[in-house]
Structure formats: structure tokens, C-alpha cells
Chains A and B, each alone.
Chain A
């Protein structure tokens, strides 16, 4: 059974359709790439799934329950968590504190406990879990650094660590390697690969960087003008004439000029 399913999803901004009757399924344990030219509706798709936008028509189902229309925090609580293209983190917190605050859904530190009992133990539990996550993504040594002082690549990795702290079942990554140098890209690719292989995390990945997508995704969905253009294995996508024309081909022509 599919973990995530969109049925006839459409989203209009005024007269402009950003998504048009888009249906797709993501299976548990899958790592799915979503690609498409600029303005194809990839980020809109994430915004609709994560509850930032309500769909104009159609619906999103997660674990067989309809999640479209409920608030982003409730969708996150059900286990579908996204990251952002921008550096979404608390700049004046340390790296560790960024991750512990994201333990929100699992912390057990209520207002009454905060006021009347000793929360040192609960706090320590959150910190241990956060340290474990930071170890996993390779930021452990930087845990006492202010998030604002990290290099761009590390900040994006911290963004994933924050998302992981919520213990998601579906992780949606919005252009995780955008603006990164080759070293940072390699680090990020390794983290995503490890998440998939070692933790069996279901991942949806929106990305412009073809090499990354083709390298780590098992299955790819191509979107153009808000519609699903093609779907399949990386080799199939690479050889699909429609995709080449809409996306890869166009890019090659630009490069040749």
C-alpha cells in the first residue's frame, strides 16, 4: 500500500495553474525524485502535501488518511515532514538546541512538568536523541556552534537533522543540494543515501541537480506545467523523448548556445 498518494491534485493561483490533476503514489521505503523545469510546480506540490497550501481540488492521502486541508503542524505530527529550499533554522540557537527544539513532538516536557518537577532527565533524553541525529548526519563536532556560523552546506544538513528530530515516516527534501559546492553536495548525497539504506526512510526529493537525482533516486516523477509528464526508473526517464524535449533537451540546447 502506498504511504503517500495524491489524487487529482490541482492548485490554482488566480488563473495560473501550478498543479493540474496530478496523481502519484509513493511506496513505503522508496526514494523518489521529483524533477521538472523551473516553475513546473515541484515546490507547490510540497507546499500542498505539507499543508502550507490547501489544494484547489483533489486530495492528499498519507497512510490511507486524507491529510489535505489540515494544518501543517498536524501533518508533521502524523509523520510527513518537509525541509525548505532556504536555510530554515533558528540562527541564534546552537546546532544542538536547534535539534532539541525540533524534538517537540516527542519531548514529554509539558508546562506543568516545567513548572513543578525536575525536567533535567527529560531534557537529557532529548539531547541524547539530538546528539545521535547529529552524529548520523555528521554535525556532531559542530553541535555547540551557533547555527548562524555554519557554512551553507552544513546549514542545509542541519535542516535535515531538524526534520529527522520529528521522527518522520516520509521526508520531503526541497532541493537539498541547491547552491552547494561539490564537497558539500557529496556530503549531502551521502547523508540522504544513508538515511534511505540504513534507516529505510521513505524520501521524496525535489531537485534540479540531475546528477544527484539520477544517482540516488530509484524512481523519478517528471512534472511540467503542473502535470505529470512521465514516471519511471532513472534510465527510462533519461531516454523518454517527452522528458528530453521538455526538460533535458531544452537544457542541452541552452548549454550549447
Chain B
């Protein structure tokens, strides 16, 4: 038990110390890392029912647009617009997923892409209120009550907190009866129907919860950047999200987190070769698909096994499957 707490404390210490370890400009990367953690984890949640969605980045955009509009046009404070934007993204998620519940596998994949593009083209075509192709600018910086939290380091801690809360909620869902139901639907939807599980309702639930957290990530992003446009939520970014979960793996809860962290480090190291980044990402994607289709998470049990060989660690590490 206490080894677990020790591990959590170590991770927390590293996460809190990070902005002071890295260069100041890299705090920006850390903030984006927080968005991506929420995004990849919520993508896995949708995926536990077996549905691969191509509209996840767009639902993130829904959160970004709605928070920007809520604060700009309605003048609501940021702390209120953040959860409301998550709910708006969840509602749009419901509209996207509803017709898709009749499809599975490839049909769902392509259908979600089409509906996501549909939402994105609405932003492009309607200048009022979405600002057309140039998007929205002058999004108010994040503040809570009288406190301005738009300072880089302060905003990093704020995003860290939101990411921890989001991931904690998603962890609870993953380990719950509902999480088990999602996974059971992935394996055998026919069996699930016969034991009284309303399969379409649960697939929709997973999608909507995923959209909610993607929307939260989007809202955090909008107030950080101060400007958003439809290009920020293109299919290219969806490919990066897929690379995150392919590199990390989706079988375990920790896969996407691992994938996002490793890919963030890789992309940061490749900063001197900026224009080669898409190529590097592509090579990594192909490498993992061909050589390690399970993702980095399959190394976790192996790493544990190596640690267990040291008697001192063996006594400390928790028993049973990780």
C-alpha cells in the first residue's frame, strides 16, 4: 500500500517540479502535454467499447469554440465556462454518435470522420458567431475570480490539476462496473444484449463521456492560445492523437499516458528538425504497428518482472496483475 503512495508522491513531485527543471519556453510544451493527456485518455475511454472514432479532435474543438464564445459573447467567467464547455462537447458528441450507433468497426470510423468534418465545416462557413476560416481571436485569458492564472507557470499548475482530476474520474470509470461493461461490449456485443445490457446506450455513454473530457481539454487550450480557428482541429491532429494511443497502447489504462509522454519527449527532441516532424511521427507509427502492435504498455509487465528479480523490490511491489 505505502509503496503505491510513495510512487504517487514521486510522480506528483516530478510533475510539480517540472516547470523549474525545463527551460521557460518548454513550459508551453508541458501545458500542451496536459491537454494531450486528457485528450488521449478520453480517446481510450471511447475506444474501450471497441469504437475507433475520428471525430475526437473535433469534439475537443467544440469545447474550445464554446468556451471562447461563452466568455466572449456571454461574458461568463472562465471557471464556469470550463465545465459548461465540457457539457456542450458532450451534447454535440451525443448528436454525432446517435446516427453512428447503427454502425460498427469501419463504418463507425468513416462515419465519425464525416460527421466531425460536418461540424468543422460549420465553423468554416458561418462567420457569425464562429468567425469563419480565420476563427476567433481575443479569447479572454484564464482567470478565476480576481486571480489571473494566464501566467505560463501558474496555468501549467492549473492544467495539471484539471488533468489529474479528469484522469482520476476516468480511472474510476475504467475500474468500475461501467468500465467492465464497456470492455464486455468490445468483446461480445451479442452476449451483452442477452444479459440485459443496452449496447447502443452504453456505446453512446462512452462516446459522450469521452467528448466531455475532450471538450474540457479544448476549453483549456482556447484560453491558453487566445485564438482558435478551424485548422486547429483538422484530421492531421487526429492522426497525432492516434499515434499517441498506438505508441502507448489502449489495453491498459496507463498506455495512452505513456504514449503521450514518450511522444511529447520525442517531438521535443526533434525540435531542431522541425520540418521533419511529420515524417518522424509517421516512421514511429509504422514502427509500432509493425514491430510492437501492442504499444509500449506491453513492456510494463516485463519491467515489473525485471524489478521483481531484485529481492528488495519484490517484497515492496504489489502482487497480482498490474
Stretch at the interface among B78-86, B90-98, B102-110, B171-179: B171-179
Contact B194 A114, beta carbon cutoff 8 Å: no
Task: Say whether A194 faces chain B, with CB atoms less than 8 Å apart.
Answer: no
Which of the residues A73, A100, A162 comes within 8 Å of B193, measured between beta carbons?
A: A73
Contact B191 A89, beta carbon cutoff 8 Å: yes
Nearest CB of B to A181, in Å: 24
B102-153, CB < 8 A from A: none
Q: Which residues of B contact A107 (CB under 8 A)?
A: 177
Task: Say whether A111 faces chain B, with CB atoms less than 8 Å apart.
Answer: yes
Name A91's closest neighbour in chain B (CB-CB).
Answer: B187
Q: Which residues of B contact A92 (CB under 8 A)?
A: 183, 187
Stretch at the interface among A35-43, A77-85, A184-192: A77-85
- CA of A52 to CA of B194 in the docked complex: distance in angstroms? 9
Q: Which residues of A contact B172 (CB under 8 A)?
A: 114-115
Contact A162 B195, beta carbon cutoff 8 Å: yes
Nearest CB of A to B198, in Å: 5
How many residues on the A side are at the interface (Cβ–Cβ under 8 A)?
38
Nearest CB of B to A13, in Å: 18
Contact A119 B176, beta carbon cutoff 8 Å: yes
Task: Say whether A180 faces chain B, with CB atoms less than 8 Å apart.
Answer: no
User: Which among B172, B180, B194 has the greatest number of chain A C-beta atoms within 10 A?
Assistant: B194
Task: Say whether A109 faces chain B, with CB atoms less than 8 Å apart.
Answer: yes
Contact B193 A71, beta carbon cutoff 8 Å: yes
Contact B180 A97, beta carbon cutoff 8 Å: yes
Name A110's closest neighbour in chain B (CB-CB).
Answer: B178
Contact A166 B196, beta carbon cutoff 8 Å: yes
Task: Say whether B199 faces chain A, with CB atoms less than 8 Å apart.
Answer: yes
Task: Say whether A129 faces chain B, with CB atoms less than 8 Å apart.
Answer: no
- CA of A76 to CA of B190 in the docked complex: distance in angstroms? 12
Task: Say whether A88 faces chain B, with CB atoms less than 8 Å apart.
Answer: yes
Task: Say whether B188 faces chain A, with CB atoms less than 8 Å apart.
Answer: yes
Contact B177 A76, beta carbon cutoff 8 Å: no
Q: Which residues of A contact B176 (CB under 8 A)?
A: 109, 114, 119
Contact A90 B196, beta carbon cutoff 8 Å: no
Nearest CB of A to B212, in Å: 11
Which of the residues B177, B181, B193, B205 comes within 8 Å of A72, measured between beta carbons?
A: B193
Which of the residues B181, B190, B196, B199 comes within 8 Å of A88, measured between beta carbons?
A: B190
Contact A88 B193, beta carbon cutoff 8 Å: no
Convert A32-51 into 0s and 1s, putting 1 for each residue whose CB lies closer than 8 angstroms to a CB of B. Answer: 00000000000000000011
> Given that A73-B198, A90-B183, A115-B169 are contacting pairs, would A100 and B191 also be in contact in the complex, using a CB cutoff of 8 Å?
no
Contact B198 A71, beta carbon cutoff 8 Å: yes
Contact A105 B198, beta carbon cutoff 8 Å: no
Contact B193 A76, beta carbon cutoff 8 Å: yes
Q: Which residues of B contact A93 (CB under 8 A)?
A: 180, 183-184
Q: Which residues of B contact A101 (CB under 8 A)?
A: 177, 180-181, 184, 195
Task: Say whether B197 faces chain A, with CB atoms less than 8 Å apart.
Answer: yes
Contact A82 B196, beta carbon cutoff 8 Å: no
- CA of A73 to CA of B197 in the docked complex: distance in angstroms? 6
- CA of A92 to CA of B199 in the docked complex: distance in angstroms? 19
Nearest CB of A to B160, in Å: 20
User: Which among A51, A52, A73, A103 has the greatest number of chain B C-beta atoms within 10 A?
Assistant: A73
Name B198's closest neighbour in chain A (CB-CB).
Answer: A73
- Please name 11 further chain A to chain B contacts, defined as beta carbons within 8 Å, in addition to the given A88-B188, A163-B195, sorted by A numbering: A71-B193, A73-B196, A84-B194, A89-B188, A90-B191, A105-B195, A111-B178, A114-B173, A126-B177, A165-B195, A166-B195
Instruction: Name 30 interchain pairs, CB-CB below 8 A, sorted by A.
Output: A71-B193, A73-B192, A73-B194, A73-B197, A74-B196, A74-B198, A76-B193, A76-B194, A76-B195, A81-B196, A82-B194, A88-B190, A90-B188, A90-B191, A92-B187, A93-B180, A100-B180, A101-B177, A101-B180, A101-B195, A104-B181, A104-B196, A104-B197, A109-B177, A114-B172, A114-B178, A115-B169, A123-B177, A162-B191, A163-B194
- Interface residues of A, Cβ cutoff 8 Å to B: 50-52, 71-74, 76-77, 81-82, 84, 88-93, 97, 100-105, 107, 109, 111, 114-115, 119, 122-123, 126, 162-163, 165-166
Going nearest first, the 6 A-B pairs with the smallest beta carbon separation are A76-B196, A72-B193, A109-B177, A114-B176, A88-B191, A105-B196
